[in-house]
A and B are shown apart, each in its own frame.
Chain A
Amino acid sequence: MSVQSIRPFKAAAKDVAANFHGQQVVYFCWDQHLMFYAPVAKLLPPDITFQAVIDTELTPTYSRHPDFARIDWAAVQWFKDGEAFTPVLDTSLAGNGITHKTAVHFKTPGLNGLNGNGF
């Protein structure tokens, strides 16, 4: 144990998957689009397909940005916990290896925020 304590104690992680009633938290961030000031935290069932996440979660979250309508989804670069990956759209989050508290970032080359300035 690295923490200094008066007596030994067993740390109880507050945010384990079991505490989310069968769902899991997944973070999403559209890089270079700081209009949305931070990555968003979504509570999702593990069996939702990646395409459904785009349609029912990312679209309402980000469609307000003028860049959103111009996204070429085939050209989007996806990152899972910092590693590049290619999602299988009709497969579940679990099938895509996206587990509880995975951070998914995506970049849209050529669309880098208003005036190309990250906003």
Chain B
Amino acid sequence: MDMSVKKKLGLKEKYALMTRNLGWEPSYEKREDVYPLLDYEGIKIHDWDTWEDPFRLTMDSYWKYQAEKERKLYAIIDAFNQNNGHLNVTDARYINAMKVFLSAVPALEYNAHRGFARLGRHMGGVGPQVACQMQAIDEMRHCQTQIHSISNYNRFYNGIHDWKHMNDRLWYLSVPKSFFEDACTCGPFEFIIAIGFSFEYVLTNLVFVPFVSGAAYNGDMGTMTFGFSAQSDEARHMTLGLEVIKFMLEQDPANLPIVQKWIDKWTWRGVRLLTIVAMMMDYMLPKRVMSWKEAWEIYFEENGMSLFKDLARYGIKVPDCVEQIKKEKDHLSHQAWTTFYAAAPMTNFHTWIPSDDELDWLSAKYPDTFDKYYRPRFEFFREQAEKGERFVNPNLPQLCQVCQIPMLFTEPDDPTQIAYRQSEHDGEKYHFCSDHCQHIFDNEPEKYVEAWLPVHQILQGNCFAEGDDPSAPDFDPIASVMKYWHLENGRDNGDFAGSEDEKNFAAWRGMTTSNT
């Protein structure tokens, strides 16, 4: 008997059948009622069918590979826990980098999930709908695996016992939170430029690649595995981001100025957000992979510039803020770490003064600035600590209205002078850390006047612990705010030296190498 054997489908054929051909034109509803969000941002799309997904990943393959990633991930997480993996890290100071990461990032992943789920519904073509739906599922996976990973650490170490509560309240966590909420409240096209292009393509390499490779270098298998597992999805996300931008620019020349404005805004928003990553790389990894400056040069200056060179054929220009970023790369991590050191009583992690060999490493990596400006600061802090007068700055800082970071950044050409900018809107004064944050505000003041700035919220009396009476004679506002954050001063923060974390880690590590 003759049997006609069907040839296995080619990738392009399969992709066409399993994505494009799933779509349909509405017959009894108007298209603009089905996709109501596509016009108001001013972006013009003439033909959604010209969208091309270069990975041509179909749902069946997607599930297959994602399942494989999860199996690998959980095998390693199990091994990590079975071997008390947390005791294998180079030095317990390292765990504080994880506290920062795990306090901030799971909520970002969740918001990315929300954003892409919305786009999966509202994009006007099947190709981007499917790609956005896959990304929405990825982001949920990242959020869940990171939340799961918190338990690898918070069973043993202080400060991340209540990450979700703190994420909505703690002052420095308003920086990542407001960044993503800014993106999620944009229209679908701005959201995808903000997150898919500016953040995923241009900047996430700087979060995941050197930092997660750094986790591996510091013996933290648990973080390395969830980090790389998440990052394996990023390559697809980055490709979506790049595809989206090409698609928008090819559809209509009128899209160019709108897209350029968004790239300028979101490159700067993202760079400000990464300030804390700069600090983690230069100060919080006991064994360093590369300096922030080196990572910046590879992933932004080299790789990012290749991208902008490529996009030049559409008329896209390198964002103006890049000039300032270039100047700040020698200062950023040092200014951030000295800030957190001085703000010790208001955080959920420990800080320390770098050891002598760490100071020497910083001098070597930052020859133009470290010895001149920053080493003397650490020497002063050390001298004070040795006298028993550990330096803290207990005052509430002024925050930038847009990035919400304390106004700690100096003038691009004068590292001794804080930069401050100011605008007025509707008779109110607003303050910014930089020309670029000011410019973002001036373009859309109605959005940023609604910012929930933690310092102002504290001063309005909205951040005291439930039941505390601010009019009571013995009311201690700072203590009440700490209680509201669910933090215990001195246990969850302050110096690493002498902390409960330090003592426990030493004792537990001792138990793994001796019988007493």
A: residues with CB less than 8 A from B are 1-6, 9, 11-16, 19-21, 23, 25, 27, 29, 31-32, 34-43, 61, 64, 81-82, 99-103, 105, 112-115, 117-119
Given A38-B397, A38-B407, A81-B422: A11 and B461 interface contact (C-beta under 8 Å): no
Residue from the list A3, A19, A103 in contact with B398, Cβ < 8 A: A103
Bound-complex Cα distance A4 to B42 (A): 9
Report yes or no: A36 in contact with B429, Cβ–Cβ below 8 A.
no
Report yes or no: A40 in contact with B416, Cβ–Cβ below 8 A.
no
List residues of chain B with CB within 8 A of the CB of A32: 416-417
Nearest CB of chain A from residue B460's CB, rounded to whole Å: 5
Q: Does B306 contact A (CB under 8 A)?
A: no
List residues of chain A with CB within 8 A of the CB of B246: none
6 interchain residue pairs of minimum CB distance: A118-B416, A11-B446, A38-B397, A38-B406, A40-B395, A39-B398
Report yes or no: A11 in contact with B391, Cβ–Cβ below 8 A.
no
How many residue pairs link A and B with beta carbons under 8 A? The number is 147
List residues of chain A with CB within 8 A of the CB of B422: 81-82, 103
A6 to B, closest residue via Cβ: B40
- Show 28 residue pairs from A and B whose CB-CB distance is below 8 angstroms, ordered by the A residue: A2-B446, A3-B445, A4-B42, A6-B40, A11-B449, A12-B450, A14-B450, A15-B428, A21-B461, A34-B335, A34-B416, A35-B377, A37-B393, A38-B407, A38-B408, A39-B398, A40-B396, A41-B395, A41-B397, A42-B395, A61-B395, A81-B422, A99-B429, A100-B428, A114-B376, A117-B376, A118-B373, A118-B417
Residue from the list A1, A16, A37, A43 in contact with B397, Cβ < 8 A: A37
Given A4-B41, A16-B428: A38 and B339 interface contact (C-beta under 8 Å): yes
List residues of chain B with CB within 8 A of the CB of A105: 420
Residue from the list A11, A36, A114 in contact with B450, Cβ < 8 A: A11
Given A38-B408, A41-B455, A119-B373: A3 and B447 interface contact (C-beta under 8 Å): yes
B: residues with CB less than 8 A from A are 36-37, 40-42, 186-187, 190, 335, 338-339, 342-343, 372-373, 376-377, 380, 391, 393, 395-399, 406-408, 410, 415-418, 420, 422, 425-426, 428-431, 443-447, 449-453, 455-456, 459-461
Given A20-B459, A38-B406, A82-B422: A2 and B397 interface contact (C-beta under 8 Å): no
Bound-complex Cα distance A9 to B415 (A): 41
Given A19-B460, A37-B338, A41-B397: A31 and B418 interface contact (C-beta under 8 Å): yes
Bound-complex Cα distance A115 to B416 (A): 12
List residues of chain A with CB within 8 A of the CB of B430: 101
Bound-complex Cα distance A114 to B378 (A): 12
Q: Which of B42, B190, B446 has the most CB of A within 10 A?
A: B446
Q: Is the interface of B mostly helix, strand, loop or mixed?
A: mixed
List residues of chain B with CB within 8 A of the CB of A14: 449-453, 456
Report yes or no: A112 in contact with B416, Cβ–Cβ below 8 A.
yes
Given A4-B41, A102-B429, A117-B376: A35 and B449 interface contact (C-beta under 8 Å): no
B186 to A, closest residue via Cβ: A4
List residues of chain B with CB within 8 A of the CB of A3: 444-447
Bound-complex Cα distance A115 to B506 (A): 39
Nearest CB of chain B from residue A20's CB, rounded to whole Å: 6
Report yes or no: A6 in contact with B418, Cβ–Cβ below 8 A.
no
Bound-complex Cα distance A81 to B431 (A): 10
Report yes or no: A103 in contact with B459, Cβ–Cβ below 8 A.
no
List residues of chain A with CB within 8 A of the CB of B339: 37-38
List residues of chain A with CB within 8 A of the CB of B426: 13
List residues of chain B with CB within 8 A of the CB of A61: 395
Report yes or no: A117 in contact with B373, Cβ–Cβ below 8 A.
yes
B422 to A, closest residue via Cβ: A81
Report yes or no: B418 in contact with A34, Cβ–Cβ below 8 A.
yes
Nearest CB of chain A from residue B100's CB, rounded to whole Å: 17
Nearest CB of chain B from residue A97's CB, rounded to whole Å: 12
B190 to A, closest residue via Cβ: A4
Nearest CB of chain B from residue A16's CB, rounded to whole Å: 6
Given A81-B429, A113-B416: A37 and B447 interface contact (C-beta under 8 Å): no
B451 to A, closest residue via Cβ: A14
List residues of chain A with CB within 8 A of the CB of B456: 14-15, 25, 41
Q: Which of A34, A40, A43, A101 has the most CB of B within 10 A?
A: A34
Given A101-B429, A114-B380: A6 and B37 interface contact (C-beta under 8 Å): yes
